Structure 1
Amino acid sequence: MSVEVRIDQGRIARLLRRRGGRAEQKLRERTRRVAAIAEAEAPGSMGKYISWKVAPGPGGMQGVIVCDHPAVHYVLNGTRPHLIKPRRANGVLRFEVDGGRVVYTKLVRHPGTKPNNFLARALREGR
């Protein structure tokens, strides 16, 4: 008696890429896990601006995590020291300092910030 086994690589590849298949389920789990870590690692309220999805890509399905907070670029890349001025010509800046004390000023000399690439850290931790 003899047994012959034929492997159709194209069929296996289609099976793995099928919508709703096991590979997509695992990709969804991993993407969700990485997004949850990114939310926890994000500074301040930035985690509320993180969303995720699984979408078709050039090589098959891919997990996509997005942070659409307006300052995310500055957090990820850091900033150099800079001046902060009011938007209006005769306006003032208002902010709170430690203890809730309110401060008004016409100019702030910001010392800059170090890069905080919380998205890359989440990706490494979520593997």
Structure 2
Amino acid sequence: MSVEVRIDPGRIARLLRARGNIAHRKMSQRTERVARIAETEAPGSMGRYISWKVVEGPRGLQGVIVCDHHAVHYVLNGTRPHLIRPRRRNGVLRFEVDGQVVFTRLVRHPGTRPNDFMARALRLGR
């Protein structure tokens, strides 16, 4: 009695990449877990702008997490000290300091340190 086994690498690769298979489900679970951690680590309301998906990349399945908030670049990379001026020519800036409303024409912002909450979420999600 003899047994012959033939392995078709292309067929195995297609099976592993098929939607809904075990590899896709595991990648979805991991990606969603990291995205949820990123939502909690994100400052303010930025967590509401985080979405995730699983796509097929050049090396197989990849989990992709995206933050579409307009200021995410400044949060991740930080900012240097800078001036803030009103948008209108003769306008004023209005904000609160210690519960008091302040009006001014110029703010000297000290800058912010980088807050790479996406990388931190990836580390915590492993």
TM norm structure 2 = 0.91
Measured in 1, the distance between the counterparts of 2:58 and 2:92 equals: 50
8 A Cα contact 2:17 2:56, kept in partner? no
Equivalent residue number for residue 118 of structure 2: 119
Deviates more, 1:6-15 or 1:47-56: 6-15
Equivalent residue number for residue 80 of structure 1: 80
Q: Which amino acid aligns with 1:125?
A: L
Displacement after TM superposition at 1:4 (Å): 4.1
Alignment of 1:25-64 (within 5 A): 25-64=25-64
Equivalent residue number for residue 91 of structure 2: 91
Q: Secondary structure at the match of 2:90?
A: coil
Task: State the percentage of identical aligned residues.
Answer: 79
Equivalent residue number for residue 22 of structure 1: 22
Displacement after TM superposition at 1:2 (Å): 4.6
Measured in 2, the distance between the counterparts of 1:39 and 1:110 equals: 27
Q: Which runs of 5+ in 1 are unaligned?
A: none
Displacement after TM superposition at 1:95 (Å): 1.0
Displacement after TM superposition at 1:71 (Å): 0.6
Q: Which amino acid aligns with 2:111?
A: G
Measured in 1, the distance between the counterparts of 2:10 and 2:54 equals: 22
Equivalent residue number for residue 103 of structure 1: 102
How many residues are paired up? 126
Instruction: Deviation per CA, 1:28-48: give whole Å up to 9, x if none.
Output: 101100100000000111111
TM norm structure 1 = 0.90
Measured in 2, the distance between the counterparts of 1:91 and 1:123 equals: 43
Deviates more, 1:1-10 or 1:115-124: 1-10
Displacement after TM superposition at 1:12 (Å): 1.9
Deviates more, 1:48-57 or 1:37-46: 48-57
Displacement after TM superposition at 1:3 (Å): 4.1
Q: Secondary structure at the match of 1:109?
A: strand
